[in-house]
Amino acid sequence: MFIETEVPEDEVIISRTDLNGVITYVNDTFAKISGYSSEELIGRPHNILRHPDMPRSVYKELWDTIRAEKSWSGYVKNMRKDRGYYWVFAEISGVYKDGTLVEYKSIRSPVPREMRIKMQHIYDKMREEEHEAWRAVMYLPFATGEKLMEAAKKRGISAEELISELL
């Protein structure tokens, strides 16, 4: 069961990152909606909120756009700390100091329900077309992890390739 959090109409959700996407600031509303405290978010990469339903190409387009010093806007489904989710319409652009790009900022607003349903379908289709690889996060006992890495190294292949061979 994944619970959706409704983004309030009358509040803005703001965050800023350094040029590598590491969070440098969040407002209280951002923290509240994501389920993290601001201390837990600041210093962490912004992909801490990445939901597996989001197609990779959306973030590629986002980064290509903002790196070219243009602003990007789009629909984003984020994952809360409790694994629930929330949809936002995000506008991301540069923060300039004396004409130099120093950070990025994102201002988000709520997404109407029909649009959330529409975007879910669009992103599901996009992911299917992109043939996305599974994103697997595994916690192994330290010794097992070491053995896996060692065996892969001996064979001159990656740990992912070794796991695929074993299946």
Ligand X SMILES: Cc1cc2nc3c(=O)[nH]c(=O)nc-3n(C[C@H](O)[C@H](O)[C@H](O)COP(=O)(O)O)c2cc1C
Say whether residue 119 binds ligand X (CB under 6 A).
no
Binding-site member from 7, 41, 49, 119 for ligand X (CB under 6 A): 49
Q: Which residue has the tokens 């709520």?
A: 110
Task: Give the number of other CB atoms < 10 A from CB of residue 110.
Answer: 19
Give the residue with the Cβ less far from ligand X, 48 or 148: 48
Binding-site member from 47, 71, 158, 164 for ligand X (CB under 6 A): 47
Written as one string, the DSSP assignment of 24-64 is EEE-HHHHHHHTS-HHHHTTSBGGGGB-TTS-HHHHHHHHH
Say whether residue 80 binds ligand X (CB under 6 A).
no
Binding-site member from 26, 33, 76, 111 for ligand X (CB under 6 A): 76
**Minimum separation from the CB atom of position 9 to ligand X (A):** 19
Give the residue with the Cβ less far from ligand X, 92 or 111: 92
**Minimal CA–CA distance to 85: which of 33, 135, 13, 160?**
33
Pairing of strands 85-97, 72-79: antiparallel
Task: Give the number of other CB atoms < 10 A from CB of residue 52.
Answer: 10
Binding-site member from 5, 11, 21, 73 for ligand X (CB under 6 A): 21
Query: Which positions lie near ligand X, rule CB under 6 A?
Result: 15, 17, 21, 46-47, 49-50, 59, 62, 66, 76, 78, 92, 104-106
